[in-house]
Amino acid sequence: MSDLPGRARHGSMAAVPGLTRWWSSRSDTDRIEIYTRWSFHVALLGLPFVLLLATVSTYRGRGVAWDLVLAVGALVTTAACMVVAETGFRRGVVPRVPLGTALVAGAVTVGTGLLVTAPRTAEGVPTPTGPWYLALVGAAVVVALSVTVPYRRLLGWTALVAALTTVLAAVRGTPLVGAVVVGLSIAVAIGGFVGAFRFSVWLLDVVREQERARGVQAQLAVAEERLRFARDLHDVMGRNLSAIAVKSQLAEQLVRRGRPGAADEVAAIGALAGSSLAEVREVVRGYRAVDLRSELAGARSVLRAAGIDCVVQGEEAALSEQAQVVLGWVVREAVTNVLRHGTGGSCTIAVVESGPDVSLTVTNSAAGDVGAWGSGLTGLSERLAAAGGRLSAQQHGPEFVLAAEVPA
């Protein structure tokens, strides 16, 4: 027999760690939302008890039926207000049917409360029970609406309740000045009470918005990283694959003609494939530096192998590492476009230092659509903008000019 109380005692305490774990597993936003939501519900649940306290001091019996009507009216009003508040939290709208139910049940509650409470004390002094009955029911409705309705509109509802309580106090025998004081007191009380609840809803909205902003920021970071990877992969592999294609065609022609240079071209293709693999790995790691001189030398070699006369000017310019990296990407993309879209002609690459800036101009007369603004040039424009530079591409007669300018 002694084991049963022990099990009951431990069983009752087992719910506490479970509730603690449940609360700890919630995010800060969830905790604030739960706290705010239940603050509304607890406040609304207190309506029937406060009405009971207001009724006791001036109660006059009218029969059990009227007492039941008062109790049911108070409970229905409370339930309808809770539904209005919960719908506001879940859907952000004011439900018409529960709101109408709250207003009708509230009117029944106030009317029945006026019937079962005395308007005056035994000494003939007007009692404040009636006005405060109306004020309590009106406050419950306004609090329920404060989940979704702006505070300015709530002040209008508060003013309406205060005006009705003033009229009711005057009708029940309170002097006009006293009735106005009662109305103003109720207006201040409801306004402050509803303002506190509305502020808690605003705070919850701010926390939710911050959480959504953090989610969007994380998504943007992922999208930006994907864009960077796609852009880097395009820039790395575009020129190398174009060079491999050109050298493969050249090696094929040399083999067909029995020229001895075919082996060298095949070796160059293998070297390009190996370097491309290494660069792709570096892109994945996110660590890669571009040397402008190497890019210029590679561009000259690749373009000449493709039958395009290439002239490089200003390759000895002393530039910062950032400028070399950005302009190196410009050379890669320009050469890729010429190899992919153009045939024959000539290409001039000029690096010019002018004060605090350095410009790189790629002028080509290769036949074909070498000046199409695609994803490659879009990526270059973004790179230059991030480095404080700019990119322009224009067609001047038979020549296409790609110009980039960045801080030296």
Look at residue 232 and tell me whether its pLDDT is greater than 80.
no
pLDDT value of residue 14: 52
pLDDT value of residue 7: 46
Average pLDDT estimate for 106-122: 87
**pTM for the complete prediction?**
0.55
pLDDT value of residue 294: 78
Average pLDDT estimate for 149-175: 91
Q: What is the CATH number of domain 225-407?
A: 3.30.565.10
Average pLDDT estimate for 138-158: 92
Helix (H, G, I), strand (E, B) or coil at 398: coil
Torsion of CA 27, 29, 32, 38, to 10 degrees: -90
pLDDT value of residue 288: 53
Instruction: Provide the residue ranges of all domains of the chain, joining segments of one domain with +.
Output: 15-217, 225-407
Residues contacting 364, CB < 8 A, separation 6+: 308, 334, 338, 342, 345, 346, 347, 348, 370, 399, 400
Is the distance from CB of 28 to CB of 85 less than 8 angstroms?
Answer: no
Q: Which amino acid is at 177?
A: V
pLDDT, tens digit, for every residue of 370-392?
455 666 778 788 888 888 888 88
Phi-psi label, residue 140: left if phi above 0, alpha if psi -120 to 50, beta otherwise: alpha
Compute the mean pLDDT over every residue in the chain, rounded to the nearest whole number: 82
pLDDT value of residue 290: 63
pLDDT value of residue 106: 92
Look at residue 188 and tell me whether its pLDDT is greater than 90.
yes
